[in-house]
Amino acid sequence: MSQPSSLLSLLTALLLILPSALAATAGCGKTNTITSGSRTMTVNNKNRRYIVRLPSNYDKNRPYRLIFGPHWRDADYQAVDGGSAPYYGLKALSNNSAIFVAPDGLNKGWANSGGEDVTFFDQMIKALSDDLCINEKLIFSLGFSYGAAMSYSLACSRPNVFRAVAALSGATLSGCSGGTEPVAFYSQHGVRDSVLNLSMGKQLRDNMLKRNGCASKNAPEPARNSRQPHIKTEYSCKEGYPVTFVAFDGDHVALPNDQGGDGGASSWTIPEVWKFFSQFT
Ligand SMILES: *[C@@H]1O[C@H](CO)[C@@H](O)[C@H](O)[C@H]1NC(C)=O
Ligand SMILES: *[C@@H]1O[C@H](CO)[C@@H](O)[C@H](O)[C@H]1NC(C)=O
């Protein structure tokens, strides 16, 4: 007599569990062998290094976000993992809800010759997914300068792997193989960037606007040396593929403030990017 209703509640329970179970990687439920620290792997016969940071209360049954932070030019993975704002400041805001990875580029950059850096990311994602509990629908990359270029390249080559990427003062330095499918995209650029000029940053944004089917919209910019606050433009795009662009009165700076300089750990960039990434659940 109670069978139909218990069957119904079983089905309801299954339907509730299913979406996250489908997105959970093979590492869910396993006792992890990967712990926080530096690791190596071989990619196309080259030795590659990366740092992994697990939540301090890592739970093998909870599918976590996975956030990559490729470094800028002439830096290395320790620059992203350490300093005053590790992982471009996101780690401090994440409240143990994400696994962070700082990969190390070859020759202190991300030339991505023949796609070798994309292959490095493929292999890291495979190794991490097999061992750790990750929500495979919530994989992100965020970087500054060369690291922004690498994140953009991942959006081109792996649109179905990355839920969103963020490019801080980037350009197409790491190539764009593929580059037709939509990926949620956050970018920001200084109006007086003397290393990778504003037009280069807008080129990334405009490519993503096209791919994500966004309606055109005026994106105002603060005047150079005006000390005007940054200006954020949110575009209306294909459902699930938003694009945000922020223009600021500054030079080539990862974490700017609104006084024309470097805001470090108190930069407005950190909550903006976290808000952009954490809208996806
Ligand atoms: C951090 O996460 C814990 C549990 O996952 C939650 O209880 C707590 O409210 C969160 N804190 C903030 C500031 O979001
Ligand atoms: C930006 O830099 C590119 C590459 O160096 C150059 O071709 C272009 O003219 C520059 N654009 C502006 C507006 O300075």
Tokens of 245: 């662009």
- Cα(281)–Cα(279) distance, integer angstroms: 6
State the pLDDT confidence band at 4, using cuts at 50, 70 and 90. low
Q: Are strands 243-248 and 231-235 parallel, antiparallel or unpaired?
A: antiparallel
Question: What percent of the chain clears pLDDT 90, i.e. is strictly above it?
Answer: 92
Q: DSSP label at 111?
A: -
| pLDDT tens-digit series, residues 240-261 | 999 999 999 999 999 999 999 9
**Strand-pair category, 184-190 with 243-248:** parallel
pLDDT on residue 21: 63
Structure tokens at 1: 């007599």
How far apart are the C-alpha atoms of 61 and 33, rounded to whole Å?
15
> What share of the chain in percent tops pLDDT 70?
93
- The per-residue pLDDT for 5 is 61
Measured from the alpha carbon of residue 97, the closest ligand is 1
Q: Give the CA distances from residue 210 to residues 188, 207, 235, 241, in Å, rounded to whole numbers and listed in that order.
A: 17, 5, 11, 11
Burial of 58 from C-beta contacts in 10 A (0-12 / 13-18 / 19+): middle
Relative to the alpha carbon of 57, which ligand is closest?
Answer: 1
| pTM summary value | 0.92
Substitution site in 197, 206, 252 for ligand 2 pocket (most atoms within 8 Å of beta carbon): 197
pLDDT, residue 58, reads 98
In three-state secondary structure terms, 210 is: helix
pLDDT value of position 22:
72
191-216: pLDDT as tens digits? 999 999 999 999 999 999 999 999 99
Closest CA to ligand 2's atom 14: 197
> Which atom, in ligand 2's list, is nearest to the CA of 200?
1
| In the predicted structure, residue 102 carries a pLDDT above the cut 50 | yes
Whether 13 has a pLDDT exceeding 90, the answer reads no
Crossing angle of the two packed helices 146-157 and 198-211, in degrees rounded to 10: 20
Q: What is the mean pLDDT of the segment spanning 264-273?
A: 98
pLDDT for residue 1: 42
The average pLDDT across 116-139 equals 98
Residue 122 has pLDDT above 70, yes or no: yes
SS3 of the chain: helix, strand, coil, percent, to 5: 35, 25, 45
C-alpha of residue 273 to centroid of ligand 2, in Å? 27
Taking residues 170-199, report their average pLDDT. Answer: 97
- Nearest Cα neighbor of 244 from 266, 271, 262 is 271
91 alpha carbon, distance to own chain's centre: 12
What number is the average pLDDT over the span 31-53? 98
Amino acid found at 206: D
- Crossing angle of helices 146-157/116-131, nearest 10°? 80
197 lines ligand 2 (CB under 6 A): yes
Q: pLDDT at position 11, please?
A: 64
Tokens of 95: 């409240």
Q: Token pair for residue 206?
A: 């405009």
